[in-house]
Amino acid sequence: MGDSVQWGILSTGSIARSFVKGLEAVPDAEPVAVGSRTQRAADAFGDEFGIPRRHPNYAALANDPDVDVIYVATPHSLHKENSILCLKAGKPVLCEKPFTINRSEAEEIVAVAREAGLFLMEAMWTRFLPIMYQVRQWIQDGAIGEVRMVSADFGFGSTPGRTKSRLYDPALGGGALMDVGIYSLSFASMVFRRPPSRVMSMAHIGELEVDEQAGMMLGYDAGEMAMLFTSIQCGTTHWAHIMGTGGVIRIHPPYWRGTTATLVRDGKETVAERPYDGNGYNCQAEAVGRYLREGKLESDEIPLDETVAIMGTMDMIRDQIGLKFPME
């Protein structure tokens, strides 16, 4: 790898665009190649973002010798196939959330990366925001005593009838849980550092057979709890709270791209402001660059075993709410 991390972008959809814009705020990284299902889309994306190498399929991108690492930004149902394609071509991978459709797919990708000795990470970008480092530090320092409860929600309004997107398509892993519920599940996992031992969930499955709202209660083995909800029918509060025996941490909305948190302890409030440059996706891209330079194979912020465990919790939730995808 040279001085600058040479990124390959796999697909040309909405988040691929945001990620490439984010890279503009990373000094030692550049998008050098894009791969799409069509040459036309690859060319249009390349023209828009000044990306010189444009490939008419994902395999050509995976085999591009000028690419150091590939960002996989296809719908969830394709993450396994696309990530394995890149890893088998010898490329490290940053793969969008949710990492896969289910735990067994996640295990498959991780096994391929470990076998090949290549870097792999779920693009849970929220964990790399500066405010999340402060939050983790407060927890580690015991600023709120023993952590006992978490609450978090992420929902937005959308219109099923008019939406042809992956969001309402079971074949692409649609629904609220997979799209945005994952953020709150991942947040609870970040705080408790282990999977729950009990899960209770409820959902509304809409006409298009994906969950349009879901609520989840997670229980941990020392009695800790997390209460999470998600929706694609309505906007939610986007707050996250961590409650301990000695205080509370509030992450201001939207917590998943937050810059501000308040520590409440002994009746006193301490506010931490941690703004970031760029659109936030740059924070994870910077971390990946650092890992690659250090020769690390996975991230400290979101280790692979944790990603796999989160997919396992999603499996339990989907089982309880009756959300099945046709490819399973």
Ligand X SMILES: NC(=O)c1ccc[n+]([C@@H]2O[C@H](COP(=O)([O-])OP(=O)(O)OC[C@H]3O[C@@H](n4cnc5c(N)ncnc54)[C@H](OP(=O)(O)O)[C@@H]3O)[C@@H](O)[C@H]2O)c1
The footprint of ligand X (CB under 6 A) covers 11-16, 36-37, 41, 73-76, 78, 96-97, 123, 125, 165-166, 172, 179
CB of 273 to ligand X, least distance (A): 22
Q: How far apart are CA 13 and CA 43, in angstroms?
A: 13
Mention every residue, 6+ apart, whose C-beta is less than 8 A from residue 285: 5, 7, 19, 22, 23, 26, 29, 94
Task: Please identify the residue of the shown chain whose CB is closest to the bound ligand X.
Answer: 13
Using the minimum distance from each CB to ligand X, give the nearer residue, 179 or 211: 179
Is the separation of the CB atoms in 95 and 109 below 8 Å? Answer: yes
CB of 17 to ligand X, least distance (A): 8
CB of 111 to ligand X, least distance (A): 21
Sheet of 93-95, strands arranged across: 53-55, 29-35, 5-10, 69-72, 93-95, 120-122
CB of 271 to ligand X, least distance (A): 25
Of 80, 91, 97, 164, which residue is the catalytic one? 97
Is the separation of the CB atoms in 59 and 39 below 8 Å? Answer: no
Q: Does the active-site annotation cover 164? A: no
Which long-range contacts link 36-44 to residues 24+ away (Cβ below 8 Å)?
36/11, 36/12, 37/11, 41/12, 42/12, 44/12
Using the minimum distance from each CB to ligand X, give the nearer residue, 181 or 247: 181
Is the separation of the CB atoms in 222 and 145 below 8 Å? Answer: no
CB of 73 to ligand X, least distance (A): 5
Using the minimum distance from each CB to ligand X, give the nearer residue, 83 or 151: 83
Q: How far apart are CA 99 and CA 124, in angstroms?
A: 9
3-state secondary structure 251-263: ECCCHHHCCEEEE
> Known catalytic residues?
97
